[in-house]
Amino acid sequence: MRRDAYKCAYCGRSDLPLTIDHVIPRARGGTDTWENLVTACTVCNNRKGDGMPKDVNMPLLFKPFKPSHIMFIKNVVGKLDEKWKPYVYLS
Ligand SMILES: [Zn+2]
């Protein structure tokens, strides 16, 4: 959700409760990977159900991507204790 800026990948809204949606539903062989998971509001998630995006006419507003290592570290470091930072950056 942080990667998607807390916006629904289908309608772009950020004022609705958000969920994590499988682009290709798990029932159809979708996996739990960065590229197959997007932020979706509850409305879109319910509407999409177990359908493929093109079947239900719900194209993604952006292509899901795998965040870079740096992006991940930056996001996490904000929450880390100061004395852990040198170790995190080195690893
Ligand atoms: Zn939505």
DSSP H or E run through 41: strand 37-41
Quote the ligand 1 centre to 82 CA distance (angstroms). 37
Q: What predicted TM-score, i.e. pTM, was given to this entire model?
A: 0.73
Distance between Cα 84 and ligand 1 center (Å): 38
The full set of domain ranges for the chain reads 18-66
CA distance 37 to 46: 15
Question: Which class for 7: exposed (0-12), middle (13-18), buried (19 or more C-beta within 10 A)?
Answer: buried
| All residues with CB under 5 Å from ion ligand 1 | 8, 10-11, 41, 44
Please give the pLDDT value at position 31: 95
| Distance of CA 27 from the midpoint of ligand 1 (Å) | 21
Higher pLDDT, 84 or 4: 4
- pLDDT tens digits, 40-51: 999 999 999 999
Residue showing tokens 């979706």: 40
Q: Identify the pLDDT of residue 24.
A: 94
90 Cα–ligand 1 center, Å: 39
- Tens digit of pLDDT for each residue in 6-25? 999 999 999 999 999 999 99
